[in-house]
């Protein structure tokens, strides 16, 4: 598995890329040259093969693609802040940024994005180094100290494959100052064959509060590999809700590190697969400071010959006393050919902690199906009701009414 199908695109890319990110790109390319693509010998990638993906031939996507407006999600309200990117390029015509106290810019124009590449570590993944190697445009959101944004911010990534698979490297930087609050939604949609390799960096100041939602609805011919890396200061609160509803090969990583005491993180996810979809969920919560709490719940619904993976790690460092951590993975298999590999993990190096983890895998409850049928509900409708109830435990936690309703309707279908 070589890298020439990516590195050969560098000269063409550099001719139009912004000069301000040149040094960051060059440093990442040096690290990419030394890195190895993950194989089954890598424990964190044991159930996911990226060989066919990285051996594919890619092209840089056209910047003048005309969007099919059906791909663009409906607006969630006139006050919603919306940044739309088409094949990785910012579209001012489709975006809406009303006056606000937040500093909202594209990375191509951001002047003070000092934390860019400082949170997401290239050493953790060659895919992060690959993303930085193509660093150009993206979203930069900075919420100053004490600012509470009432309206949500939507970051929408739209993609379309061409004659060859397009290579997209979306980048997002989110920084909340002390006592700042915001709700941010990332959405991925597309058509045709392409490879989305996304990185999101998030830094929360003291007492900051961020509610984060990610909805992955890529084309069923697309690959989606993404990393969201979060660093939390003291007494900050972070909640993320990940919905995986599309894509052919999907790997979503979420890494959270507590850098201050009494911080709290909620990490929830729902992955739904059918056909031959491969959906890999990898999470790391690093309790590097004492008196912090984390709550993690991932649910999967797999039909057809879909393959799901859940690999969740919780680290409790030596001095992280009074840690409270809970991790759960529940999976519903709707066919005999669907498979799941689940691996919740705890690594604890402190003695005064409260930590639990577990996983359950099963099918629809026959007694519940019989009960519903005995009340006159047809079998297929009964199956849908029980499946919806299982999934809606995650969706109901999303606080944005319009997005929650949209996802509920998608699950019912």
pLDDT digits (tens, 9 = 90+) for 290-303: 999 999 999 999 99
**Cα-Cα-Cα-Cα dihedral sign, residues 288, 289, 290, 293:** negative
> What pLDDT band is residue 265 in, cutting at 50, 70 and 90?
very high
HEC readout, 126-161: HHHHHHHHCCCCCEEEEECCCCECCCCEEEEEEEEC
Question: What is the β-pairing status of strands 58-59 and 165-168?
Answer: parallel
Q: The sheet that has 153-160: what strands, in order across it?
A: 89-90, 81-86, 153-160, 181-191, 209-217, 237-244, 264-273, 293-302, 323-333, 353-362
* Other Cβ atoms closer than 10 A to 371: 12
Helix (H) or strand (E) holding 357: strand 353-362
Structural domain that includes position 18: 4-412
CB contact at 8 A, 79 and 98: yes
More confident residue, 54 or 2: 54
Residue with tokens 């598995």: 1
Would the pLDDT of 77 be above 70?
A: no
Would the pLDDT of 167 be above 80?
A: yes
Mean pLDDT of the region 105-113: 84
Mean pLDDT of the region 27-43: 92
pLDDT digits (tens, 9 = 90+) for 343-397: 999 999 999 999 999 999 988 888 888 888 888 888 888 888 888 889 999 999 9
Would the pLDDT of 49 be above 90?
A: yes
More confident residue, 181 or 39: 181
> What pLDDT band is residue 110 in, cutting at 50, 70 and 90?
confident
| Number of domains the chain contains | 1
**pLDDT, position 64:** 66
Measured CA angle at 129 (ends 128, 131), to 5 deg: 65
**pLDDT, position 411:** 83
pLDDT digits (tens, 9 = 90+) for 214-255: 999 999 999 999 999 999 999 999 999 999 999 999 999 999
* Other Cβ atoms closer than 10 A to 115: 17
**pLDDT, position 34:** 92
The phi-psi region of residue 110 (left if phi > 0; otherwise alpha if psi is between -120 and 50; otherwise beta) is beta
The number of CA neighbours under 13 Å toward the Cβ of 26 is 6
Chain centroid to CA 35: how far? 23
Mean pLDDT of the region 153-178: 92
Helix (H) or strand (E) holding 264: strand 264-273
Would the pLDDT of 184 be above 80?
A: yes
Would the pLDDT of 176 be above 70?
A: yes
pTM of the predicted model, to two decimals? Answer: 0.95
**pLDDT, position 139:** 95
**pLDDT, position 402:** 85
**pLDDT, position 126:** 94
Average pLDDT of the chain, as a whole number: 92
């Amino acid at each position: 598995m070589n890298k020439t199908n990516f590195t050969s695109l560098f000269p063409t890319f550099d001719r139009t890329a912004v000069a301000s990110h040149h040094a960051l790109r060059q440093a990442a390319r040096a690290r990419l040259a030394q890195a190895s693509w993950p194989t089954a010998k890598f424990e964190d990638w044991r159930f996911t093969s990226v060989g066919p993906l990285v051996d594919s031939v890619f092209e840089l996507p056209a910047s003048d693609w005309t969007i099919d407006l059906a791909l663009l999600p409906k607006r969630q309200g006139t006050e919603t802040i919306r940044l739309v990117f088409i094949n990785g390029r910012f579209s001012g015509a489709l975006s809406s940024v009303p006056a606000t106290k937040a500093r909202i810019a594209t990375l191509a124009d951001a002047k003070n994005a000092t934390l860019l590449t400082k949170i997401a570590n290239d050493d953790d993944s060659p895919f992060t180094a690959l993303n930085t190697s193509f660093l150009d445009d993206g979203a930069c959101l900075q919420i100053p100290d004490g600012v509470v944004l009432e309206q949500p911010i939507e970051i929408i990534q739209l993609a379309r494959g061409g004659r060859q698979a397009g290579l997209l490297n979306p980048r997002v930087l989110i920084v909340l100052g002390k006592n700042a609050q915001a709700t941010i939604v990332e959405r991925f949609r597309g058509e045709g064959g392409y490879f989305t390799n996304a990185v999101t960096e998030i830094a929360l100041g003291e007492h900051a509060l961020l509610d984060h939602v990610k909805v992955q609805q890529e084309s069923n011919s697309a690959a989606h590999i993404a990393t969201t890396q979060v660093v939390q200061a003291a007494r900050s609160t972070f909640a993320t809700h990940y919905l995986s509803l599309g894509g052919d090969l999907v790997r979503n990583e979420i890494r959270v590190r507590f850098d201050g005491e009494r911080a709290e993180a909620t990490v929830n996810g729902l992955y739904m697969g059918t056909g031959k979809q491969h959906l890999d969920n990898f999470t790391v919560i690093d309790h590097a400071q004492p008196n912090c709490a984390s709550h993690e719940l991932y649910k999967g619904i797999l039909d057809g010959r879909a393959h799901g993976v859940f690999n969740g790690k919780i680290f409790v460092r030596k001095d992280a006393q009074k840690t409270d951590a809970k991790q759960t993975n529940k999976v519903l298999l709707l066919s005999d050919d669907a498979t799941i590999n689940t691996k919740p993990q705890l690594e604890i190096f402190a003695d005064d902690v409260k930590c639990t983890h577990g996983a359950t895998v099963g099918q629809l409850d026959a007694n519940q199906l019989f009960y519903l049928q005995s009340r006159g509900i047809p079998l297929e409708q009964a199956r849908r009701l029980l499946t919806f109830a299982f999934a809606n435990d995650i969706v109901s936690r999303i606080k944005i009414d319009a997005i929650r309703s949209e996802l509920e309707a998608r699950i019912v279908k």
